[in-house]
Chain A
Amino acid sequence: MAHESYFFRARRGLPRELQEAQTWIEGIASGYGLQFCETVFEMCDWQEINMLASYGGFPTRYPHWRWGMDYLQMDKSYEYGLQKIYEMVINTQPAYAYLLDNNTMMDQKLVMAHVYGHVDFFTNNAWFAHTDRKMLDRMANHATRVRRHMDAEGQDVVETFIDMCLSIENLIDPHLPHIRRERSESEREKEAARRAPGYARMPARHYMDKYINPPEFLEEQRQRHQDRMAAQARFPDSPVRDVLGFLLEHGRMRPWQRDVLSIIRSEAYYFAPQGQTKIMNEGWASYWHTTMMTRDILTDAEVIDYCDHHSGTVAMQPGRLNPYKVGIELFRHIEDRWDKGRFGKDWMDCDDVAVKRDWDTGAGLGRDKIFEVRRTHNDVTFIDEFLTEDFVREQGLFTTTWDKKAGHYVVDSREFGAVKQQMLTMLASRGNPPITVTDANHGNRGELELTHAHEGMDLQLDWAELTLGNIARIWGRAAHLVTTVDGRRTVLHHDGASFTVDKEGKPGAGEKQQKEAS
Chain B
Amino acid sequence: MPLNIDNDVHRFRTIVKGRVRKDLRRFMQSGELLGRQGDRIVSIPLPRIGIPRFRYGDNEQGGVGQGDGQPGDAADGQPGDGQGQAGEQPGQHVLEAEVTLEELAEIMGEELALPRIEPKGHKHISSERDKYTGISRVGPEGLRHTRRTFREALKRQIASGTWDAGRPRIVPVREDKRYRSWKTKSEPQSSAVILYMMDVSGSMGREQKEIVRLEAFWIDTWLQHNYDNVQARFIIHDAKAREVDRDTFFRTKESGGTLISSAYELAWRIIEADYPPDEWNIYPFHFSDGDNWSKADTKKCLTMLQERFLPACNQFSYAQVDSDYGSGQFYEDLSGSFSGDERLALSRVPDRDHIMDSIKELLGTGR
Contact = CB atoms under 8 A, between A and B. Distances in A.
B8 A457 contact: no
Interface stretch (A118-126, A229-237, A292-300, A316-324): A316-324
Contacts of A464: 54
A150 B259 CA distance: 63
A433 B55 contact: yes
Given A457-B57, A459-B55, A518-B48, A399 B62 contact: yes
Interface string A62-88: 011111111111100000000000000
A422 B55 contact: no
Contacts of B58: 460
A60 interface: yes
Interface of B: 1, 3-5, 7-13, 15, 48-49, 51-83, 86-87, 95, 97-98, 165-166
A399 B81 CA distance: 14
B56 A319 contact: no
B320 to A, nearest CB: 38
B201 to A, nearest CB: 44
Interface in A21-57: 47-48, 51, 54-55
B11 A68 contact: yes
Nearest to B59: A402
A396 B68 CA distance: 7
A426 B81 contact: yes
Given A70-B87, A319-B69, A426-B79, A47 B3 contact: yes
Contacts of A319: 65-67, 69, 74-77
B63 A426 contact: yes
Contact of B4 (A59, A65, A166, A452): A59
A409 B77 contact: yes
A408 B57 contact: no
Contacts of A103: none
B12 A65 contact: yes
A74 B8 CA distance: 14
A458 B66 contact: no
A167 interface: yes
A248 to B, nearest CB: 18
A412 B62 contact: yes
A409 B74 contact: yes
Nearest to A64: B8
Given A70-B87, A411-B72, A427-B81, A460 B64 contact: no
Contacts of B1: 47
A461 interface: yes
User: Top 5 A-B pairs ranked by shortest CB distance?
Assistant: A409-B77, A68-B12, A319-B76, A402-B59, A68-B8
Given A64-B8, A72-B97, A458-B57, A410 B52 contact: no
B4 A60 contact: yes
Nearest to A429: B80
Contact of B62 (A168, A400, A414): A400
Contacts of B166: 63, 147, 150-151, 155
Given A167-B52, A426-B61, A431-B82, A65 B66 contact: no
